[in-house]
C-alpha cells in the first residue's frame, strides 16, 4: 500500500458479513435502501462522525449487488460484490452448515457431519470469501488503524490480514458460543488448525462469556500449542434500554397489544389469561419444539392451567434456503396445531403462534408477558432474555436455559432449566406462573439492571479501547 493511501485510509474499520444497509430493486428499477440496527451500528455511531470509520460488508442479495454495480452506497460503507455462488458456499455451505453446527453442538452424529470432496470445494469458497474481506480491509485501512472483525463467517480474516498489513491492530469478536475441544475436533485436523490460526492472527479476541473464551483457549492448547501473544477479552453484550423502552411505547406497539389481548382472550372467571411468551427465529439451537412439548406437559400435569394460560409463541422463519430449517419450521407449526387440537376449546387457543416477523408485535408480547420462556440448546448470549425484563409492564418471570450465554449474568434471578428436560421445563413454567407478584417484580428489576449493564454502544467502545490499549 502506498503511504498516501495509508494516510487517507480509515482509522476504525468493522468487517461483517451483513452490513448496516441493504438494497432492493423497486419495480421502476430504482433502488430502495433499508437501514439496520444492532450493537455495531450503535457502536459506530458512538465514536462520532469524525472518527474516519468504515464498515466493510458483503452484498447479500440481488439488490445489494445491483447497488455495487451502479456505484450506489452509503458514506462509511464498502459493500463487497463476492460472486453469488461463492457467497452461498461460504455462508450456507460452511458458516451456517458447519461452523454454526459445531459451535452449537447440533450435529446428529450417526449421520453427520460428512467431510467429503463437496465440503472441501465449499471450504475453498469460504477461504475466497475471507480473502476478499482481508484484501479490502488492507486496502482501506490507514497506518496503524483498528480493525474489528465479526463472527464465525470471517474466522480466517485476522490471519490473512496480518500477513497483508502487519501494522494494523486487529480484533475479532465471536457472537456465538465456542465448541469445547472434544466437539471442535470433529472438524478435519487441518481445517480446525486453520480456523484457530486464522483467529490467532488477531491482537485481541472477544467473546460473550468467560465460558466461550475458555473453550477457545482450550481448543488452542489442544490443536495449536496455545494462544501465543493474542489477548482474550469477555464483553457480554447488553440490551439497549433507552431504545427499547421508547420503541415499546409507540402507537403501533399499543395496537398490537390490543390485538394480542384479543387473541389470548379471557379466563373462564372473566379475568385475564396468564401468558407464557417466547420470541425466536426458527433456528435449530433455539429449542422451540421442546418448549412446545414442555407447555403441553404443563397442560397435562396441571389441568388447573387449562383455559387460564396461553403460550404466545413467535417463531420467525430463519435460513429457509436450508432444508433442515424448513423441516424444523414445519415441525413447530405441526406441534402447535396438535396442542391446539388436543386442548383447545371454543373460547381458548392454547398456543398463539405467529411466524411473520414483526418487531412491534414482539415488543407488545414482551410488555404483556407473565413468563418469558428462553430455553436454547446453546446460545452465545440471547438478547431476548435481556430485552423482556427491560420492557415488561408488570414484571415477568424468566425461565432460562443454563446453556444460554445470558445465564452467566441473569441466572440468579431466573428459573433455570436443562433445555433437554421437558418435564423439568414444565415444572419451571408452573413455578414461574405461580411466583408471587412482589417477587416477580423484584426479580424483574434485578434482571433489567443486569441485562443493561453493558449497552451496545459501550460494548463496542470497550472493545475498541481494549484493542487500542
With b for 16 or more beta-carbon neighbours within 10 A and e for fewer, the 163-191 pattern comes to eebeebbbbbbbbbbbbbbebbebbeeeb
Tell me if residue 222 falls in helix, strand or coil: helix
In DSSP terms, 231 is beta-bridged to 204
* Pair 399, 429: CB distance under 8 Å: yes
* Pair 130, 156: CB distance under 8 Å: yes
| Class of CATH domain 3-237+458-468 | alpha beta
Cell output for 51: 472518527
- Non-local CB neighbours of 285 within 8 Å, separated by 6+ positions: 104, 106, 376, 377, 378, 379
What residue ranges do the domains of the chain occupy? 3-237+458-468, 241-451
**What's the CA gap between 343 and 205, in Å, rounded?**
50
Q: Is 144 left (phi over 0), alpha (psi -120 to 50) or beta?
A: left
In DSSP terms, 346 is beta-bridged to none
* Pair 403, 376: CB distance under 8 Å: yes
Tens digits of residue pLDDT in 401-460: 999 999 999 999 999 999 999 999 999 999 999 999 999 999 999 999 999 999 999 999
Q: Does domain 241-451 have CATH number 3.40.50.2000?
A: yes
Same topology between domain 3-237+458-468 and domain 241-451: yes
* Pair 175, 154: CB distance under 8 Å: no
Cell output for 101: 453446527
**What's the CA gap between 125 and 129, in Å, rounded?**
6
Q: How many other β-carbons are positioned within 10 Å of the β-carbon of residue 408?
A: 17
Residue 272: DSSP 8-state: B
pLDDT in tens, the chain (469 residues): 333 345 579 999 999 999 999 999 999 989 999 987 776 777 777 776 777 899 999 999 999 999 999 999 989 999 999 999 999 999 999 999 999 999 999 999 999 999 999 999 999 999 999 999 999 999 999 999 999 999 999 999 999 999 999 999 999 999 999 999 999 999 999 999 999 999 999 999 999 999 999 999 999 999 999 999 999 999 999 999 999 999 999 999 999 999 999 999 999 988 889 999 999 988 899 999 999 999 999 999 999 999 999 999 998 887 777 788 888 899 999 999 999 999 999 999 999 999 888 999 999 999 999 999 999 999 999 999 999 999 999 999 999 999 999 999 999 999 999 999 999 999 999 999 999 999 999 999 999 999 999 999 999 999 999 999 8
Is the bond preceding residue 384 a cis peptide, omega within 30 degrees? no
Amino acid at each position: 500500500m502506498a503511504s498516501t493511501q495509508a494516510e487517507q485510509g480509515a482509522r476504525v474499520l468493522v468487517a461483517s458479513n451483513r452490513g448496516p444497509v441493504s438494497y432492493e430493486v423497486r419495480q421502476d428499477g430504482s433502488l430502495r435502501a433499508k437501514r439496520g440496527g444492532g450493537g455495531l451500528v450503535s457502536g459506530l455511531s458512538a465514536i462520532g462522525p469524525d472518527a474516519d470509520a468504515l464498515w466493510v460488508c458483503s452484498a447479500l442479495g440481488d439488490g445489494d449487488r445491483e447497488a455495487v454495480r451502479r456505484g450506489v452506497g452509503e458514506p462509511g460503507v464498502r459493500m463487497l460484490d463476492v460472486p453469488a455462488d461463492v457467497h452461498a458456499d461460504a455462508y450456507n455451505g460452511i458458516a451456517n452448515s458447519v461452523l454454526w453446527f459445531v459451535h452449537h453442538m447440533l450435529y446428529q452424529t450417526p449421520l453427520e457431519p460428512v467431510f467429503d470432496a463437496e465440503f472441501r470445494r465449499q471450504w475453498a469458497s469460504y477461504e475466497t470469501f475471507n480473502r476478499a474481506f482481508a484484501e479490502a480491509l488492507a486496502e482501506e485501512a490507514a497506518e496503524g488503524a483498528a480493525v474489528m472483525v465479526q463472527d464465525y463467517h470471517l474466522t480466517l480474516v485476522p490471519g490473512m490480514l496480518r500477513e497483508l498489513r502487519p501494522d494494523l491492530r486487529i480484533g475479532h469478536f465471536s457472537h456465538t458460543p465456542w465448541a469445547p475441544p472434544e466437539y471442535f475436533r470433529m472438524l478435519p485436523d487441518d481445517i480446525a488448525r486453520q480456523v484457530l490460526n486464522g483467529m490467532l492472527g488477531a491482537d485481541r479476541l472477544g467473546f460473550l462469556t468467560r465460558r466461550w473464551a475458555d473453550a477457545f483457549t482450550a481448543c488452542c492448547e489442544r490443536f495449536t500449542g496455545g494462544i501465543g501473544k493474542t489477548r482474550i477479552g469477555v464483553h457480554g453484550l447488553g440490551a439497549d434500554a433507552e431504545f427499547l423502552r421508547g420503541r415499546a411505547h409507540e402507537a403501533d406497539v399499543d395496537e398490537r397489544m390490543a390485538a394480542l389481548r384479543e387473541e389470548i382472550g379471557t379466563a373462564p372467571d372473566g379475568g385475564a389469561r396468564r401468558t407464557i411468551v417466547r420470541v425466536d427465529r426458527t433456528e435449530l439451537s433455539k429449542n422451540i419444539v421442546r418448549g412446545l412439548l414442555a407447555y403441553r406437559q404443563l397442560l397435562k400435569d396441571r389441568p388447573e392451567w387449562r383455559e387460564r394460560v396461553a403460550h404466545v409463541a413467535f417463531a420467525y422463519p430463519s435460513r429457509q434456503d436450508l432444508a433442515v430449517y424448513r423441516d424444523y419450521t414445519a415441525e413447530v407449526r405441526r406441534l402447535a396445531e396438535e396442542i391446539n387440537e388436543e386442548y383447545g376449546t371454543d373460547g381458548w387457543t392454547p398456543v398463539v403462534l405467529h411466524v411473520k416477523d414483526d418487531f412491534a408485535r414482539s415488543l407488545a408480547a414482551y410488555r404483556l408477558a407473565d413468563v418469558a420462556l428462553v430455553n436454547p440448546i446453546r446460545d452465545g448470549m440471547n438478547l431476548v432474555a435481556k430485552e423482556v425484563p427491560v420492557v415488561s409492564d408488570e414484571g415477568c418471570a424468566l425461565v432460562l436455559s443454563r446453556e444460554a450465554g445470558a445465564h452467566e449474568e441473569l441466572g440468579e434471578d431466573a428459573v433455570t432449566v436443562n433445555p433437554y428436560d421437558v418435564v423439568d421445563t414444565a415444572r419451571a413454567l408452573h413455578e414461574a406462573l405461580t411466583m408471587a407478584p412482589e417477587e416477580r417484580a423484584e426479580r424483574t428489576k434485578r434482571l433489567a439492571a443486569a441485562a443493561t449493564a453493558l449497552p451496545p454502544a459501550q460494548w463496542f467502545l470497550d472493545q475498541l479501547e481494549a484493542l487500542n490499549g
